[in-house]
Amino acid sequence: MKAGGIAFAIGVVMVRNQRGFTMIELLVVVAVISVLALISFTMYSNVQARSRLAKAQADTRTMAGAIGAFQAHMGQMPAVLGDLTVAQTNVTGQVSGPFMAADAVPPAGWTYNYSPGGTTGYTITASGDNTSLTIP
């Protein structure tokens, strides 16, 4: 049957020339998507670990700078890191500080340790993600 130059097939089952994807083509697409997902997940995990390390490095440098300023003002090392977050009065009556706005919060899975004394005057250690940073 033909109407206005368009052929209509009524009740005809199309066996040949069916359009679609074969099972092999679909499996290849699924495999490619799986490989790409694995690569992106691995890269995402590495980015997170590197950002935690960068935060720990920045925090330890900030603490070291604040300890240096505290030592210059007070003439001694702070007993605990909490001493850096409050104003301090030295022996001449000069008030200075706080040397840090707040205690540094370590990234998830990391810990910060401060030990006054030793040959360098103090040690700051940041540990996490199977890595350890020590300053100085």
76-86 pLDDT, tens per residue? 889 888 889 98
Q: How much is the average pLDDT of 3-17?
A: 56
Going from N- to C-terminal start, the domains of the chain cover: 20-135
Considering 11-20, 28-37, 82-91, the range whose residues carry the highest mean pLDDT is 28-37
Amino acid at 127: S
* Cα–Cα distance, 35 to 88 (Å, whole number): 57
Q: Give the contacts of 86 (CB within 8 A, at least 6 positions apart).
A: 97, 98
Q: Say if pTM beats, i.e. exceeds, 0.75.
A: no
Whether residue 13 is predicted with pLDDT greater than 80 in this model: the reply is: no
Contact between residue 134 and residue 124 where contact means Cβ atoms under 8 Å apart: yes
Q: Is the peptide bond preceding residue 78 cis, with omega within 30 degrees of 0?
A: no
Alpha helices, H only, 19-124: 23-74
Mean pLDDT, the chain, whole residue set: 84
Cβ atoms of 78 and 84 closer than 8 Å? yes
pLDDT for 124 equals 92
What six digits make up the tokens of 114?
């401060």
**Does the pLDDT value for residue 14 go beyond 80?**
no
Compute CA distances 107 → 54, 122, 133, whole Å: 10, 22, 13
Q: Check whether 50 has a pLDDT greater than 80.
A: yes
Take residue 54 and report the two structure tokens written for it.
């960068």
